[in-house]
Amino acid sequence: MMSKQKLLLIPMLSSISSLVLLTSCSKIENTKITESISENKPDSENNATREGNTNLNDNKDNKLINPTVQQNQTSLFKIIEPKTIYKEIYDRTFALKFLTKLPGSEGILDNNQGTGWLLDYHKFKNANNKYKLFIATNLHVLSHFSNSLSKELNSKLNYYDSQSDKKVLGVALGKTEKPVNDFNHVPNNKPSVDRAKNNNWNANYYGNTIPTGEHNRWENTSHKTTPTEAISSPKIVFAALDFMKKEAFSKYQDKLNEVVKEFGTRKLQEKNDYEYKHAWEDLNRVSNVPMMVDFGIFEIDVDLDKADETLKQWVKEAIDGVDNYLARLSKTAALPNQNKDVSKYLQTVDYVSAFKTQKHPNNLTKAKDVYIAGYPVDGKVAWWMQNNPSERYEMQDEKQNQSMKFDFSKFDPSKPFPILPHNFPFRRKPTEGFSENNVGEKITTVTPTIFDSYWGRVLAAWYGFQYNVNFSSLYYGASGSLAYNEYGQMIGIYNGVSSNVQFGDLLKNGSIAPFLQSSNIEAGENTIYAYNLIDGTNKTQFGMQKNSFRENLRVIYPNGFEDGSKETKLFDKGY
């Protein structure tokens, strides 16, 4: 019997009535998985889900930047063709699924919904065709990615699962059965679904070989997967939990503890089976609730000499996608919000900081377009799909407006107004993918969402801001997808979708978590301190941050990778 586990994430965004993320897990054998306690609970029943939004326009000292200034700013920068962006995202992106060994004799968990993408890689110097791939996704997609490091490292980085005998065994990378060559916009709902299904854009997978003695392997999972010795067992490299110093929360730690205690007391009283009791027992032991961002990075080694031609092509295209991204940014004379002397791969000023504290002609505060694509799931099958359906652009294309304008030579002056054809494209201001101030956070009111289903731990979400993005309601399974802006820069990771969305409906809202916050920002009486999830090594700027992807590489590989090198594509001079 297989069952599903739903992970319900309550929104921080005031413009979304209900925003959720779901991952689907199937347990091989007869181990029951029950639903999260927060499922189908209204906000009034769960004080840990009350909203804590910040309306930056309410701050009289930070008035909205003149729209004309913003419009003039955008003319400084080169906009990238949408098809180029989607192709690059496609090349870097994989559908993900995992196998996790459960405690005792409970069987193996098949977690088969999620999207990941190649952030960085290392080419081994002692092997011609061997790479270490660093794949990014949501932390909630990695909720059962348990105990992948040594006991010492799990403890040092605070990445342990409270159930010590629970362990992730495998990862499978998926890609469309037939390559995607059409990145044009299509209408919403059925046309988007039909394009994916008629072109066989369903995901096929390759997974690492599961250790001998584990009687459940990839062939027992709910998706066709080819085992291969080309892929190693996966390991966590960075999880955005407990990545800030305790001093960052000291001002509101007592309030945070109260919220957690109230939630835990009520939950343990309501749950008859105490499925997550071990998480609360762990909290009693450690007396610390880490705050988190929905972001994590794991690694695998891939030996292309052991891969078939299909897997080899997938990996090479992902590597080329990263290379093309970096080359394009390097060749671009001016990029918004990015000092290339500081970072060659990422914005150095986020949109909220640009709006609040770092106003500058080169810093934009919104994105006209946000591009997201990944592998939402329908009928237990992951399908490639992209946001921004064609309705998003209707009556906004300048050439179309000009060609379809009403012929005023036919205007009858005896009539009070011209009778326009029913399909006359009224000119209107385009709607942005991400608008100024369309954000949410949990620090002002200290009302975090509480989770107890990740790694057998009690965690609080979220630290920092979440961006509400339009025309981006990719269905469940697309969690973890990469988001670009119209200038082809990575700006965040997709982690939320409107709760009333159906598969193929792409016009509703979603949310992304940004990769950085470049300045300290006041949130009511509290402060949200600056952080950079990829590289927080500049402690002058990110003084309240404990660790990041780059810093964790130094902890996990103090003497370099297995070949002695410390170079990656992002950190070509060494991490």
pLDDT for 67-104, tens place per residue? Answer: 334 555 667 899 999 999 999 999 999 999 999 999 88
398: number of Cβ within 10 Å: 8
146-185 per-residue burial string, b: 16 or more CB within 10 A, e: under 16: bbbbeeebbeebbbbbbbeebbbbbbbbbbbeeebeebeb
Q: What is the pLDDT of residue 164?
A: 92
Quick check: helix, strand or coil at residue 228?
A: strand
Quick check: helix, strand or coil at residue 392?
A: helix
Reference 215, options 303, 107, 289, 298; nearest CA is 107
Kind and range of the H or E element at 142?
A: none
Kind and range of the H or E element at 372?
A: strand 370-374
Q: Dihedral through CA 181, CA 319, CA 534, CA 571, nearest 10?
A: -150
Cβ(243)–Cβ(545) under 8 Å?
yes
- Within 8 A by CB and 6+ apart from 150, the residues are none
Q: What is the pTM of this model?
A: 0.84
Cα gap 378→476, rounded to integer Å:
8
Cα–Cα distance list, 448 to 33, 154, 511 (Å) = 25, 25, 16
- Within 8 A by CB and 6+ apart from 244, the residues are 291, 463, 529, 531, 544, 545, 546
Half-sphere exposure of 210 (CA within 13 A, CB side): 23
Those residues of the chain that have pLDDT short of 50 are 1-18, 22-69, 395-430
Cα gap 406→401, rounded to integer Å:
10
Cα gap 384→373, rounded to integer Å:
7
Cβ(570)–Cβ(260) under 8 Å?
no
Burial of 40 (0-12, 13-18, 19+ CB in 10 A): exposed
Cβ(282)–Cβ(163) under 8 Å?
no
Reference 344, options 357, 366, 360, 325; nearest CA is 325
What does DSSP assign to residue 474?
P
Burial of 298 (0-12, 13-18, 19+ CB in 10 A): buried
Kind and range of the H or E element at 485?
A: strand 482-485
Give 252-320 as a DSSP string. THHHHHHHHHHHHHHHHHH-SS-TTHHHHHHHHHH----EEEEEEEEEEEEEGGGS-HHHHHHHHHHHH
Q: In three state form, how does the secondary structure of 57-126 look?
A: HHCCCCCCCCHHHHHHHHCCCCCCCHHHHHHHHHHHEEEEEEEEECCCCCCEEEECCCEEEEEEEEECCC
Quick check: helix, strand or coil at residue 242?
A: coil
Q: What are phi and psi of 286, to 5 degrees?
A: -95, -20
Give 352-365 as a DSSP string. HHHHHT---TT--S
Cα gap 110→203, rounded to integer Å:
16
Cα gap 514→220, rounded to integer Å:
37
What letter represents residue 382's amino acid? A
Q: How does strand 510-514 pair with strand 449-454?
A: unpaired
H and E: helices and strands count for the chain: 10, 26
Cβ(511)–Cβ(479) under 8 Å?
no
Q: What is the pLDDT of residue 37?
A: 25
Cβ(201)–Cβ(384) under 8 Å?
yes
Give 169-204 as a DSSP string. EEEEEEEESS---------TTHHHHHHHHHTT-BEE
285: number of Cβ within 10 Å: 9
Kind and range of the H or E element at 371?
A: strand 370-374
Half-sphere exposure of 396 (CA within 13 A, CB side): 11
